[in-house]
Chains A and B, each alone.
Chain A
Amino acid sequence: EIVLTQSPATLSLSPGERATLSCGASQSVSSSYLAWYQQKPGLAPRLLIYDASSRATGIPDRFSGSGSGTDFTLTISRLEPEDFAVYYCQQYGSSPVTFGQGTRLEIK
């Protein structure tokens, strides 16, 4: 099983700032099959990034993903008020599919 470790657990920033979220894998993720999701309270997750760096339909270009192998990053270039939420990474290159424990992005 590939264990995903997200850091930091909580990130406190202000609107307009740049956010960098990390996801480390216990072993290499096959073909960079890594995704990022955003979840707001009481709502279902929303796909942001798939295949490590491809933006999902309708996702603003301030969201970008990078990385390969065991180290992946989600960057939000300029935070908007609606971006404060919990973010999860997920690998789907092999079964079992696994999620990271999440990073909470909160307003400073």
Chain B
Amino acid sequence: EVQLVESGGGLVKPGGSLRLSCAASGFTFSSYSMNWVRQAPGKGLEWVSSISSSSSYIYYADSVKGRFTISRDNAKNSLYLQMNSLRAEDTAVYYCARGRTEGLDAFDIWGQGTMVTVSS
């Protein structure tokens, strides 16, 4: 079964750091781009970051550029999001999602999401 499972969410104070992980199974992870999308409570979807299959191309939303770092380990079938200098407005459910191909593409498989709360 094709599956993505996020972990690492939780409560963190403003200015703190958190590292999200996404474990992939059921498909050849190294052949697909991967993405992070977030959704603040009661709000719409916001794209956060994308990484190509071989990590050659990495993109960030302006709202997280310089604070968040996306990475992947194809040997471990895992995607990561290192989040530093967290702000209250980063509070959201964070989803990892698979791109349909090795580059920027539609997101065809989604994880269940992990909640990140930034509050003092």
Query: For residue A98, which residues in chain B have a CB less than 8 angstroms away from its CB?
Result: 47
Does A90 touch B at the CB level, under 8 Å?
A: yes
Binds B, one of A20-28, A41-49, A66-74: A41-49
Within 8 A of B (CB), among A63-108: 88, 90, 92-93, 95-102
Question: Which interface class (under 10, 10 to 19, 20 to 34, 35 or more) fits B?
Answer: 20 to 34
Interface of B is mostly: strand
User: Once the chains bind, are B44 and A56 in contact (CB under 8 Å)?
Assistant: no
Within 8 A of A (CB), among B30-87: 35, 37, 44-47, 50, 59-62
User: Once the chains bind, are A99 and B44 in contact (CB under 8 Å)?
Assistant: yes
Query: For residue B44, which residues in chain A have a CB less than 8 angstroms away from its CB?
Result: 88, 99-102
Chain B positions near chain A (C-beta within 8 angstroms): 35, 37, 44-47, 50, 59-62, 95, 100, 104-108, 110-113
Query: For residue B61, which residues in chain A have a CB less than 8 angstroms away from its CB?
Result: 96
Contact status of A97 and B104, CB under 8 A, knowing A44-B95, A45-B45: yes
